[in-house]
Chains A and B, each alone.
Chain A
Amino acid sequence: MAKVIIYPTNSLILSDLVQRFGHTPLAMMEKIKEKVTTVGVDSPPMNITAEEPKHGLKYAAVEVPAGVRGRMAIVGPMIEEAEAGIIVGESPMAFGCMGCARTNELTKYLIRSREMPLLELEFPKDDDEGQEFVYRIAEFLKSLDEVKGESEEATE
């Protein structure tokens, strides 16, 4: 079972598919849950404190807006933890009140710059594209089992 980072980081479809094919999705929702339900970190309404932009300095320079650095404080550790990645482009809904275009760019860049198995595709627009989308993700996730099995054999 590999930890797979998904982009868009809060995608229902990707999170479900990764879990369906037996891997662990690294998604934003779990990190947000830790943030908003941890007792003691109390800075209502979102429990985002001044510490987050400081943690984000590891991923973005100081002159980058605090919003990007704050988001990267959550997304960055997920990218470091990941063993594989799936990036779905053409997702305009990832940009809006809950997202930030520059954070999205930086997230995709950092995922691509990690040396790990990576699948890049686009959200489907019709049934044929939907079929290709699911098949490619399924094959990619199945291939991760083989890669992981081989690497475990090599270490033994």
Chain B
Amino acid sequence: MAEENNDVITKLVVTSSDTVLPIDAAMKIYESSTDIVIKETCFGTMVTGPREAVNKVVKEIVDLDKNHIFVKERGFPPGDDRRCRASRGGGSRPGFYFLKEEAMMLPMIGKALDKYDKHVPLKEIEHKKKLEVKDLQDIVESSL
């Protein structure tokens, strides 16, 4: 039983694509005849099932727009009482805030991956330096 359970995984497929919508990803999964369960969400899709089947389907989805669809594994299965907000009295589920922050960065990461594939040379950026202690001391003394 435990072994069987261990082999079932959940993956979060987060779409940040101009051409592929979460529903397209979901349709792709419906088309596959594998034994998996999906849940559509506002940010993408959650896919649960045997490891091999999930990996195969997720790869097919990612291939739709590989630089703009991102995947990570999820610990809890979809709709789990310990996480699902339906049984927790509303509000975002724990862990969503982090995902939301990262989802906002995904267009930027997607563009960068496109550039990396096209071998666009890296621009040099000047990073802000931290204030040296001596400089701070000078500023403090100058205002006295």
**Which A33-92 residues have C-beta < 8 A from chain B?**
33-40, 44-46
Nearest CB of B to A17, in Å: 8
Which stretch from A108-116, A130-138, A148-156 is at the chain B interface?
A: A130-138
With A16-B71, A46-B82 in contact, is A123–B105 under 8 Å at CB? Answer: yes
Which of chain A's residues has its CB closest to B5's CB?
A37
Report the Cα distance A44→B99, complex, angstroms.
25
Which of chain B's residues has its CB closest to A16's CB?
B70
Is there an interface contact between A98 and B72, defined as CB atoms closer than 8 Å? Answer: no
Report the Cα distance A94→B9, complex, angstroms.
24
Task: Collect the chain B residues with CB atoms within 8 Å of residue A126's CB.
Answer: 108
With A96-B97, A123-B105 in contact, is A36–B75 under 8 Å at CB? Answer: yes
Report the Cα distance A20→B144, complex, angstroms.
56
Nearest CB of A to B76, in Å: 6
Nearest CB of A to B136, in Å: 21
- 6 closest A-B pairs by beta carbon, nearest first, are A32-B75, A130-B108, A134-B112, A33-B75, A15-B72, A16-B70
With A8-B98, A10-B98, A46-B82 in contact, is A131–B115 under 8 Å at CB? Answer: yes
Is A127 located at the chain interface by the 8 A CB criterion?
yes
Is there an interface contact between A15 and B122, defined as CB atoms closer than 8 Å? Answer: no
Nearest CB of B to A24, in Å: 11
Is B134 located at the chain interface by the 8 A CB criterion?
no
Is B123 located at the chain interface by the 8 A CB criterion?
yes
Interface 0/1 of B93-128, CB less than 8 Å to A: 011011101110110110111011000101101000
Nearest CB of A to B42, in Å: 15
Is there an interface contact between B105 and A130, defined as CB atoms closer than 8 Å? Answer: yes
Task: Collect the chain A residues with CB atoms within 8 Å of residue B101's CB.
Answer: 93
A interface, CB within 8 angstroms of B: 8, 10-13, 15-17, 19, 27-40, 44-46, 93-94, 96-98, 123-124, 126-135, 138
Report the Cα distance A31→B71, complex, angstroms.
17
Is there an interface contact between B2 and A38, defined as CB atoms closer than 8 Å? Answer: yes
Is B52 located at the chain interface by the 8 A CB criterion?
no
Question: Interface residue tally of chain B, by bracket?
Answer: 35 or more
Which of chain A's residues has its CB closest to B70's CB?
A16
Report the Cα distance A12→B14, complex, angstroms.
9
With A12-B12, A13-B106, A134-B116 in contact, is A33–B73 under 8 Å at CB? Answer: yes
Contact of B73 among A15, A96, A129, A131 (CB under 8 A): A15
Report the Cα distance A25→B44, complex, angstroms.
21
Is there an interface contact between A128 and B105, defined as CB atoms closer than 8 Å? Answer: no
Is there an interface contact between A131 and B98, defined as CB atoms closer than 8 Å? Answer: no
Which of chain A's residues has its CB closest to B96's CB?
A98
Given contacts A12-B103, A13-B102, 12 further A-B contacts (CB under 8 A): A10-B72, A13-B70, A13-B106, A30-B75, A93-B97, A93-B102, A94-B98, A96-B97, A97-B94, A130-B111, A132-B125, A133-B112
